[in-house]
Structure 1
Amino acid sequence: MAALSLSRKKNSSRNAGVERKNLITVCRFSVKTLIDRSCFETIDDSAPEFLNFASILEQILSHRLKGQLTWFGYESPRSFWDYIRVACSKVPHSCICSIENMENVSSSRAKGRAWIRVALMEKRLSEYITAALRDYKTTRRFYDDGAIVLGEEANMLAGMLLGLNAIDFSFCLKGEGLDGSFPAVIDYTPYLKFTQSSESISSDEEELRTLGSSGSESSTPENIGPPFIMDENSWYNKCKRVEQKYRLALEQKGYLEELVRLREVQLSDSVSKNKLLLQRIKDLDVNHKLEKEQLEYIIVELQDQLKSFQSLGHLSADASLSQISFDPGQSQDENGKHDGSHLSEGKEATPSLLGLCGSLTSVASYKSLASLKSSECLASPTTEMTSPGLTPS
């Protein structure tokens, strides 16, 4: 059991070493491709070389990063921004405070990605990394043993990032690249090189053929003896070469399968998001149609109400006119009021004057004047002359 645990530890340490070496090598390749791309055009968020470099740097800074212990003893995940924020706090004129106060960036991973972009635009990424690595206590507090930032590769990282100061970057800090919900995926395909020529293929086939023939010959009893001992080293070397090539092909196969799996996951996420967006568009279309129908119904109802109000206005105007023309008492009272206001200045309002004023406005007032004459309320000259007991002067 002890030997098994020791072998497992050796295998894990060897795998960690291989992982560190691969990340540093890929980072060097990505820096070179960025420099080559900058000779022809400006590097922005849409450049695949930059996206790959940002993913590689995020993987390096997140390599064997410790989690944060809570009050209950559980370890919650942590982003590399927590380390950069503390380790680079003493850098003069740093962008740490401005990134920490950004409104459109909320998650810790998104702030770390924004810091990478701002540091590249300031041409100070190597300076930030060097200052963070010098704070060994903070680095030791945030990372486990075997991390890249704790090994010899860290000095190489700061040196290779120094070449990025010659590039003019232009980034937008409001794009989709700052979304902290998406993991950093490294695309190794630009750095893979398949240079297997026909000669190597023929040599592999020859080696396999010789191995098969030697195996078939060694199975016969007459070939057992000194020739087998003499060719043992050559056979062992051939087997080792074939095994190495087989392992290399197996690793490439595993990488391609992992890449296909990641692309399938991304495709399924995109398909699900597309379905949600299509359903949302349908719902919005249905709501728009309903609102349009409701507005059309309201407009028709308001038009009907306006027509009814107009007809009621015409009817009320006609009724008022008919009431004025066919209500002699009201007209007489109104005219009596107006005339009385004029007569009250110096004359006494007598029944004869009221009757006279009424005769000017309506036929009913004329009739009232005639009734007054008949009732001898008015004095006429003919009656005075013909009355008995009076002599003409």
Structure 2
Amino acid sequence: MAALSLSRKKNSSRNAGVERKNLITVCRFSVKTLIDRSCFETIDDSAPEFLNFASILEQILSHRLKGQLTWFGYESPRSFWDYIRVACSKVPHSCICSIENMENVSSSRAKGRAWIRVALMEKRLSEYITAALRDYKTTRRFYDDGAIVLGEEANMLAGMLLGLNAIDFSFCLKGEGLDGSFPAVIDYTPYLKFTQSSESISSDEEELRTLGSSGSESSTPENIGPPFIMDENSWYNKCKRVEQKYRLALEQKGYLEELVRLREVQLSDSVSQNKLLLQRIKDLDVNHKLEKEQLEYIIVELQDQLKSFQSLGHLSADASLSQISFDPGQSQDENGKHDSSHLSEGKEETPSLLGLCGSLTSVASYKSLASLKSSECLASPTTEMTSPGLTPS
């Protein structure tokens, strides 16, 4: 059991070492492709070389990252931004505070991706990584044993990232690349380029031909030619080389098949989402047509009601005008009444005035007064008093 556990530990340590080496190698390739791409165009969020580099760097900084202990003793997942925020807090004129206060970026992983973009635009990514690696105490507190940032590969990483300072990056910090819900996926397809010379191809064919001929000679005892003697070590080495090449081709085949399967799954998901969107568009068109018809019907009803109200207003105006034109006496009486009422309101109503007005208003009394005034029998009291020879009795 002890030997089995020891072998398992050796295998795990060997696998961890291979993983670290592969990540560093792929990071070197991605930096080289970025530099080559920058010679022809500006690098932005749409460049596949940058997306692959960002995924590789995120995988490196997240390699064997410790989880955060909760009150109940469980470990919750943690992002590399938590380490960068603490380790790079003392860097002068850093962008840590501005990224921490960004409103449109909420998750920790999204803030880490925003930090990568801002550091590349500032041409200080290598400076940030170097400052973080110098704080060994903080690095040791955030990472487990066997992590890339704790090994010798970390110094190589800082040196590789120094070449990115010659590239002018242009990023938008509000795009889909900052979405923290999607994991960082590395695309190894651009790096699966093998250049085999004609000599290596001929040597492989010669090895296979030699193996086949040796098998045929051993199976035919009637061959009378001179014996073909070869060293066992050379045969063993040739078989090992062929086996390694076969396994490498088999692993590449498996990777490509898995990549094709993932692309097929993504394609089927995109097709289903497209169908759902088309159905939603159709439903929205139907609802829009129904609402349009309802609004048109409402507009027609309102226009009819407005016409009816206008016709009723014209009829009422015509009726009032005809009533005024056919009853002038009534209108005059009404005007007289209004005038008399205004006069009566203006005058003071006393008994003497009322009696005087009543006597003057009657036509008969007016005629009697006129007849009395014109009669010769009547004389004014002043003439009687002043005429000579007349004395009052």
Pick the TM interval, shorter chain. 0.7 to 0.9
Report which stretch shifted further, 374-383 or 29-38. Answer: 374-383
Q: In 2 relative to 1, CA 352–283 (structure 1 residues): closer, same or farther, beyond 3 Å?
A: farther
Instruction: Provide the C-alpha distance between the structure 1 equivalents of 2:145 and 2:190, rounded to a whole number of angstroms.
Output: 31
Q: Is the 8 A contact 1:45 1:51 kept in 2?
A: yes
Provide Cα deviations, 1:110-153, integer angstroms capped at 9, x if missing partner: 11111000011111111111111112222122222211111100
After superposing the two structures, state which structure 1 stretch, 218-227 or 250-259, moved more: 218-227
Residues 248-281 of structure 1 show CA distances to partners (whole Å, capped at 9, x for unaligned) of 2122222222322332343233333323332332
2:112 aligned partner: 112
Q: Which moved more, 1:77-86 or 1:194-203?
A: 194-203
Higher relative contact order, structure no. (Cα contacts within 8 Å, ≥ 6 residues apart): 2
Deviations 1:77-127 (A, max 9, x none): 221111111211222221111111111112211111110000111111111
Q: Given that residues 339 and 357 in structure 1 are in contact (C-alpha distance below 8 angstroms), is that contact kept between their aligned partners in structure 2?
A: no
Change in 2 beyond 3 A, CA 1:272/1:102 = farther
Residue by residue over 1:303-333, the C-alpha shift from the partner in whole angstroms, topping out at 9 and shown as x without a partner, is 0110111011112112222333455674243
2: CA distance, partners of 1:198 / 1:65: 45
Deviation at 1:343, TM superposition (A): 7.1
After the TM superposition, which of the residue ranges 81-90 and 146-155 deviates more from structure 2? 81-90
Show CA shifts across 1:10-29 (max 9, x none): 22222221111111111112
Q: Is the 8 A contact 1:332 1:362 kept in 2?
A: no
Measured against aligned partners, the alpha-carbon deviations of 1:202-223 in whole angstroms (never above 9, x if no partner) come to 4323323332443454467899
Once the two structures are TM-superposed, the CA of residue 41 in structure 1 deviates from its matched residue by 2.4
The CA deviation string for residues 19-77 of structure 1, in whole angstroms up to 9 with x for no partner, is 11111111112212222222332222122221221111111111122222333333322
Paired with 2:123 and 2:77, the residues of 1 have a C-alpha distance of 30
Distance 1:352 1:294 in 2: 77
User: Which range moved further: 344-353 or 317-326?
Assistant: 344-353
RMSD: 7.3
Which moves more between the two structures, 218-227 or 271-280?
218-227
In structure 1, C-alpha distance between the alignment counterparts of 2:109 and 2:376, rounded to whole Å: 115
Gap change, CA 1:151 and 1:323, over 3 Å in 2 = same
Following the alignment from structure 2 to structure 1, what is the Cα–Cα distance between the partners of residues 234 and 171?
Answer: 58
For residues 250 and 34 of structure 1, the distance between their equivalents in structure 2, rounded to whole angstroms, comes to: 29
CA contact (8 A) 1:42 1:168 kept: yes
1:336–1:354 contact (8 Å) kept in structure 2: no
Partner of 1:276: 276
Task: Pick which of 25-34 and 217-226 moved more.
Answer: 217-226
Deviates more, 1:206-215 or 1:285-294: 206-215
Comparing 129-138 with 262-271, which one deviates more in the overlay? 262-271
Q: How high is the TM-score relative to the length of structure 1? A: 0.80
User: 2:121 maps to which residue?
Assistant: 121
Unaligned runs of 5+ in 1: none
Residues 232/312 of structure 1: CA separation in 2 closer, same or farther (3 Å cut): same
TM-score by length of 2: 0.80
Change in 2 beyond 3 A, CA 1:158/1:346: closer
Q: Distance in 1 between matches of 2:378 and 2:296?
A: 72
The Cα shift of 1:380 comes to 26
Offset from partner CA, 1:355-386 (integer Å, 9 cap, x none):
99999999999999999999999999999999
Judge conservation of contact 1:27–1:57 (CA < 8 Å) in 2.
yes
Residue number in structure 1 paired with 2:150: 150
Evaluate the alpha carbon distance shift between residue 160 and residue 343 of structure 1 in structure 2; reply closer, same or farther with a 3 A threshold: closer
- Larger deviation, residues 134-143 vs 108-117: 134-143
Does the aligned pair in 2 maintain the 1:352–1:372 contact within 8 Å?
Answer: no
Deviates more, 1:75-84 or 1:150-159: 75-84
Give the Cα separation in 1 of the matches to 2:368 and 2:262.
Answer: 111
Question: Distance between the aligned counterparts of 2:341 and 2:377, measured in 1?
Answer: 23
Q: Report if the CA contact (8 A) 1:42-1:170 is conserved.
A: yes
Identity score, percent: 99
User: Whole-Å Cα distance in 2 between the matches of residues 371 and 283 of structure 1?
Assistant: 104
Shift of 1:346: 11
Retained in 2: the 8 A contact 1:332–1:361? no
Contact 1:91 1:131 in 2 (8 A): yes
More off after superposition, 329-338 vs 148-157: 329-338
Aligned counterparts of 2:326 and 2:373: Cα–Cα separation in 1: 25
Please tell me whether the aligned partners of residues 332 and 358 of structure 1 are also in contact (alpha carbons under 8 angstroms).
no
Q: Could you say if the C-alpha distance between residues 268 and 386 of structure 1 is closer, same or farther in structure 2, counting changes exceeding 3 Å?
A: farther
- 1:191 Cα offset (Å): 2.2
Cα pair 1:43 1:50 within 8 Å, conserved: yes
> Residues 220 and 5 from structure 1, CA distance in 2 versus in 1: closer, same or farther, beyond 3 angstroms?
farther
CA shift in 2, pair 1:62/1:268, >3 Å: farther
Q: Residues 369 and 171 of structure 1: is their aligned pair in 2 closer, same or farther, counting only changes over 3 Å?
A: farther
Partner of 2:252: 252
Residue 346 of structure 2 is aligned to residue 346 of structure 1 = yes
Which residue matches 1:180? 180
**Do the aligned residues in 2 keep the contact of 1:352 with 1:378 (CA within 8 Å)?**
no
Change in Cα spacing, 1:36 to 1:355, as seen in structure 2 (3 Å) is farther
